[in-house]
Amino acid sequence: MTYVRSVIHLGSGAIACYRWGQGPGVIIALHGFGERALSFEHWGRSLPEGFSLYAPDLPLHGDSRWEGPFTVDHLHELLRRITVTPFTLCGFSMGGRLCLSYVQARPENIHRLVLLAPDGLKVNFWYWLATQTQTGNRLFRYTMQHPAWFLGSIRTLGALHLINRGIVKYVHRHLGEAAQRQALYDIWTCMRTFRPDLEAVKNRIRTQGLPVRLIFGRYDRIIQPSQGYRFQEGLGEHCRLTELSAGHQLLTVALSPVCLQIVTD
């Protein structure tokens, strides 16, 4: 199944959005850091009849143009422009953080929430320091411009087995080049307002009776399944968790069938 591409204008920004299918069951999927809407193309090609899948290029990703902070209100307007009917909201990694904040603020039109290895289930001290404090943001900017001390520290901690090798590889993959470091600084700063209050999110889920499906890679060392199990506590039948035989990257051809089954079930 091929996609249809459109552009949604929000203020001075322009968000590229891709659609697969034309069915009444609407799915909106938000990608992770450094990815793009076409990360969900494997889903789109295998989408069951009766569904439509929409995936936007989030700000500072793919073909979208954006300046300044991106907020929950911006996200709400984007989703409202995509559909006015109840929909299933999916988020992978960074996209999961956006989904959690959206559920906290605007849960009314969400039919189901599916989070794949979502960021935001745990307070990341370094993310908080870099995006929520002036001193931390200055240090963050300096480190992105002069990364040698940080990358050296990561290598040392990895050699001493104080952090796992998955994190070491992840850091070097995303911070190895100057353009990558600038992108990290810009994206973290752009998305800084997405700070989900997990207890508030869980209260919304219970109040709305919102079905939640969590999907994790059993061998994920970036966002571990244990975070999902902690979030699941107190949600009872509203929240189910599935572990797949995978690492952090869950948007692969091989995993598409099982992920789509969970999303469309």
List of domains in the chain = 4-120+196-264 (3.40.50.1820), 125-190 (no CATH)
AA identity, residue 31: H
Residue ranges for the chain with pLDDT beneath 50: none
Q: What's residue 127's pLDDT?
A: 66
Where does the chain have alpha helices with state H?
A: 41-45, 72-82, 94-105, 125-132, 134-145, 148-159, 165-175, 178-190, 198-208, 225-232, 256-264
Query: Would the CA dihedral through 195, 200, 202, 206 be positive or negative?
Result: negative
- Distance (Å, whole) CA 209 – CA 211: 6
Largest Cα–Cα distance in the chain?
Answer: 53
Q: Which of 82, 76, 29, 73 is nearest to 262 (CA)?
A: 29
Tokens of 138: 């200055």
Q: What's residue 138's pLDDT?
A: 81
Q: What's residue 129's pLDDT?
A: 67
Q: What's residue 174's pLDDT?
A: 67
| Sequence-distant (≥ 6) Cβ neighbours of residue 90 within 8 angstroms | 27, 28, 29, 30, 99, 113, 114, 115, 116, 263
Q: What's residue 235's pLDDT?
A: 97
Q: What's residue 226's pLDDT?
A: 97
Tokens of 254: 């091989």
Q: Is 47 helix (H, G, I), strand (E, B) or coil?
A: coil
Q: What's residue 184's pLDDT?
A: 87
- Distance (Å, whole) CA 207 – CA 107: 10
